Amino acid sequence: MGKNDTMLIRRAEAKDAEEIIRFNQAMAFETEKRRLPDEVISAGVGHIFTHPEAGFYLVAEEGGVTAGSLMVTYEWSDWRNGCFWWIQSVYVLPEFRRRGVYRRLYAEVKRLAAAADDCCGFRLYVEKENSPAQKTYEALGMAPCPYIMYEEARP
């Protein structure tokens, strides 16, 4: 793949949904040993394409192969009078890892955000044990937040 001279980063379209679904399923199993039901993840991915106000996906293509993707969703911050862009569902095919795919995807997020009047920053969450991902994010200028995330599943 060289220096990614031929890598294309673009907004995903509905035709990319099946690949993104497979990426999400692979990522969930790889990071959490969790299996995502087809009908749930299919509807979740499809929602972004039918509700662009919720966010968007980016994909990285190299030689006609979708090498990776990520999703951006929005969170309004009243403290900052702007939106944080949450980077989620990051996945890069194993054979494309350590080749700058995420770096290129992240650069496109930053480029798009610079053109958006209401973006006040980026956030993402990462598994505590996923130190390779943490090192990647830190190398690109992100820093750990002073917050701890809590969650309660809907009954």
Q: Is residue 16 part of a domain?
A: yes
Q: Is residue 152 part of a domain?
A: no
User: What are 11's two structure tokens?
Assistant: 């907004």
Q: Model-level pTM greater than 0.85?
A: yes
Contact 47, 24 (CB under 8 A): no
CATH of the domain at 56: 3.40.630.30
Number of domains in the chain: 1
Instruction: Identify the pLDDT of residue 129.
Output: 86
Contact 21, 41 (CB under 8 A): yes
Q: Is residue 18 part of a domain?
A: yes
- Which residues of the chain register pLDDT less than 50? 1-2, 4
What does the pLDDT look like over 44-77, one tens digit per residue? 999 999 999 999 999 999 999 999 999 999 999 9
Instruction: Identify the pLDDT of residue 65.
Output: 95
Give the count of alpha carbons within 13 A of 79, CB side only: 3
DSSP β-bridge partners for residue 60: 9, 68
Instruction: Identify the pLDDT of residue 155.
Output: 87
Instruction: Identify the pLDDT of residue 43.
Output: 98
Q: Is residue 3 part of a domain?
A: no
Q: Is residue 149 part of a domain?
A: no
Q: Is residue 71 part of a domain?
A: yes
Instruction: Identify the pLDDT of residue 3.
Output: 52
Domain that holds residue 24: 8-139
Q: Is residue 153 part of a domain?
A: no
